[in-house]
Structure 1
């Protein structure tokens, strides 16, 4: 389960919008202080917004991150199911052939 967000989505969107709307680009540090967040947090928000809009290729988009998390969760469930089936098949094979060494 993911940790709860400390900043609202509205604050995140407002910070990214303020950064993009100002010309020339303001220093992230000054803008972050004005919003009441750490500069690294605001920088991450800006980078993620750029990835979501297709301006950056070095990060996954939000949709890709969600899909990756779902696939990882499914992978864990499938591995668990395979282990159960492997154990069950070994158990039943031993029951069917009592002469087989264990």
Structure 2
């Protein structure tokens, strides 16, 4: 008997992701992995509706590292607390970066 097609046991989601209950993924994990890679999406494995694991496309795994997630949380906190600057142009932004680094060519 051929394996069940992934699309028959995954549940579409608004984000670029889909969920697969563990009991439905049992024996079909290669299909779930292939579907995640083909869709360039995250496949969340669920247990009674609770996400317990994620299959992430390899070229996006860097984003989910603890270091990157920590930096994302820090950036979110900076935004909430108003510790941000806006610039009229990218040239102005890079000039500010150069000045802060001490690389100001002026």
- Same fold (TM > 0.5): no
Larger proportion of strand:
2
TM-score, normalised to structure 2, is: 0.28
Larger Rg: 1
Larger proportion of helix:
1
